[in-house]
């Protein structure tokens, strides 16, 4: 039985709050805190109407560790679930250490003034969390998150070694807007406009942004063009998967989305370099974020499905070289009916809730800082379907989708 503080009341924060409230034990008391308290209040009243559970809310600027520390000291949670933005990760980890509280997030730290993300900053906290007897779980959304756990599960259940991994993320949904991002626009566009990167035979290889692509036939969504990108889980999986020879990440984009992105990039709207506008400094990408639809506003009329999974190959425990494909299909409209969300926020928030539950139940409580593939995949895989993200596993006999 535990109190939990959820920080961030955007698309993902809403799902986490709904799902924790719906789960009941071990979540006995919940507080949702964010920069704009009105967003927390709106989610809280939705939760009360839909599930009959009352949660508390608070205003918080989590950029300042002292603010988070004061809130933790007054609410006394056992765990903080950080679903604000990657910029706040270190400040919230500092507050958790100071207050003696466990930590979980869904995205790795990113400095505001550099479009760069890597785990080094958060891995540097390993010893401090371990000495304090506290657990920090990193990247417990879908990708990173459930995809890492699929890899850990494949290793535990089926493979002696994993030789290749292709993480394939397809959103075949339609939200009816000309251009919108499914999670925080600033973080999303920073990620997509970076150079592509994958790991092969012991080294990182780079590609021009979105220059490598291939079609793939996704179950329940059909053939979609997927683009090679760098994504944060590649960094930790390279460290943690035995025998790895190649790992890549692919995401689907429609032509309309890519055209908008190219035009916005060409006119300078995706830049993070400050410019002077009417005597005031503004960051073009932050201005663009302000005019784009909010991720949490997309859910109501969203149709179609997501399909995210891992295509893995290597020698099985029986010694045969095989391909294995494990994925989840999630329906945007069903997410809206259940928790007033679209499927991208849903597929991120549900693993975060289950990771928090496993930590509080003691199954994932382990002092230190961990990426999810370092934790036992068994309890997660046994429970995740019950919370809304069932998985399908197949043993394809045909050729690799992108050899």
Contacting positions for ligand NDP (CB under 6 A):
7-13, 34-36, 39, 60-63, 83-86, 88, 106-107, 141-145, 183-184, 187, 295-296, 344-345, 348
Q: Which helix (H) or strand (E) holds 67?
A: helix 65-75
- Smallest gap from Cβ 122 to ligand NDP, in A, equals 13
Report yes or no: 366 and 135 within 8 Å, Cβ to Cβ.
Answer: yes
Q: Which of 260, 329, 264, 336 is nearest to 297 (CA)?
A: 336
Residue 400, C-beta contacts closer than 8 angstroms, at least 6 positions apart: 164, 166, 311, 313, 323
- Smallest gap from Cβ 331 to ligand NDP, in A, equals 17
Report yes or no: 88 and 7 within 8 Å, Cβ to Cβ.
Answer: yes
Nearer CB in complex with ligand NDP: 63/220:
63
- Smallest gap from Cβ 309 to ligand NDP, in A, equals 13
Nearer CB in complex with ligand NDP: 125/159:
125
- Smallest gap from Cβ 271 to ligand NDP, in A, equals 19
- Smallest gap from Cβ 41 to ligand NDP, in A, equals 12
Alpha-carbon span 85 to 91, nearest angstrom: 11
- Smallest gap from Cβ 207 to ligand NDP, in A, equals 22
Nearer CB in complex with ligand NDP: 61/386:
61
Region of residue 65 (left: phi > 0; alpha: psi -120 to 50; beta: else): alpha
- Smallest gap from Cβ 66 to ligand NDP, in A, equals 13
Residue 60, C-beta contacts closer than 8 angstroms, at least 6 positions apart: 7, 33, 34, 35, 67, 68, 71
Nearer CB in complex with ligand NDP: 323/348:
348
Tokens 């270190």 belong to residue: 90
Q: Which of 181, 32, 186, 183 is nearest to 110 (CA)?
A: 186
Nearer CB in complex with ligand NDP: 141/314:
141
Residue least distant from ligand NDP (Cβ): 10
- Smallest gap from Cβ 92 to ligand NDP, in A, equals 9
- Smallest gap from Cβ 144 to ligand NDP, in A, equals 5
Nearer CB in complex with ligand NDP: 211/286:
286
Tokens of 175: 């939200």
Nearer CB in complex with ligand NDP: 158/190:
190
Alpha-carbon span 212 to 208, nearest angstrom: 8
- Smallest gap from Cβ 131 to ligand NDP, in A, equals 27
Tokens 């549900």 belong to residue: 350
Nearer CB in complex with ligand NDP: 272/322:
272
Report yes or no: 322 and 309 within 8 Å, Cβ to Cβ.
Answer: no
Nearer CB in complex with ligand NDP: 15/381:
15
Report yes or no: 252 and 210 within 8 Å, Cβ to Cβ.
Answer: no
Nearer CB in complex with ligand NDP: 125/249:
249
Helices 185-192 and 284-291: crossing angle in degrees, nearest 10, is: 130
Count Cα atoms within 13 angstroms, Cβ side, for 66: 0
Nearer CB in complex with ligand NDP: 97/251:
251
CB atoms within 10 A of CB 11: 24
- Smallest gap from Cβ 200 to ligand NDP, in A, equals 24
Tokens of 357: 């539950």
Residue 218, C-beta contacts closer than 8 angstroms, at least 6 positions apart: 168, 170, 172, 224, 252, 307
């Amino acid at each position: 039985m535990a109190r939990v503080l959820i920080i961030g009341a955007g698309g993902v924060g809403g799902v986490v709050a709904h799902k924790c409230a719906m789960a009941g034990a071990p979540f006995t008391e919940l507080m949702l805190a964010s920069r704009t308290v009105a967003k927390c209040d709106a989610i809280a009243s939705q939760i009360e109407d839909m599930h009959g559970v009352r949660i508390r809310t608070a205003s918080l600027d989590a950029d300042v560790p002292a603010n988070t520390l004061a809130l933790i000291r007054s609410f006394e949670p056992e765990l903080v679930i950080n679903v604000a933005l990657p910029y706040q990760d270190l400040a919230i980890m500092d507050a958790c250490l100071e207050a003696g509280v466990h930590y979980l997030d869904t995205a790795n730290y990113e400095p505001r003034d550099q479009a760069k993300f890597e785990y080094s900053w958060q891995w540097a906290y390993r010893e401090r969390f371990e000495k304090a007897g506290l657990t920090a779980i990193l990247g417990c959304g879908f990708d990173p998150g459930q995809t890492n756990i699929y890899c850990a599960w494949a290793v535990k259940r089926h493979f002696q070694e994993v030789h290749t991994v292709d993480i394939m993320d397809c959103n075949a949904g339609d939200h009816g807007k000309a251009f919108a991002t499914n999670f925080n626009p600033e973080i999303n566009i920073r990620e997509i406009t970076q150079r592509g990167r994958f790991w092969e035979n012991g080294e990182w290889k780079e590609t021009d942004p979105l220059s490598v692509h291939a079609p793939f036939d996704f179950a329940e969504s059909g053939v979609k063009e997927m683009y090679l990108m760098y994504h944060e889980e590649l960094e930790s999986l390279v460290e943690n998967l035995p025998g790895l020879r190649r790992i890549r990440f692919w995401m689907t984009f429609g032509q309309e989305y890519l055209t908008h992105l190219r035009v916005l990039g060409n006119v300078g709207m995706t830049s993070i370099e400050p410019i002077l506008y009417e005597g005031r400094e503004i960051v073009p990408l932050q201005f663009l974020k302000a005019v784009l639809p909010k991720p949490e506003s997309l859910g109501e009329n969203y149709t179609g499905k997501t399909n995210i999974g891992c295509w893995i190959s290597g020698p099985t425990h029986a010694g045969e070289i095989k391909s294995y494909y494990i994925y989840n299909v999630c329906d945007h409209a069903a997410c809206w009916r259940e928790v007033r969300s679209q499927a991208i926020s849903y597929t991120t928030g549900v693993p975060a809730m289950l990771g928090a539950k496993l930590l509080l139940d003691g199954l994932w409580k382990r002092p230190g800082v961990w990426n999810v593939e370092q934790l036992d995949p068994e309890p997660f895989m046994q429970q995740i379907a019950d919370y809304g993200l069932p998985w399908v596993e197949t043993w394809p006999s045909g050729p690799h989708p992108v050899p």
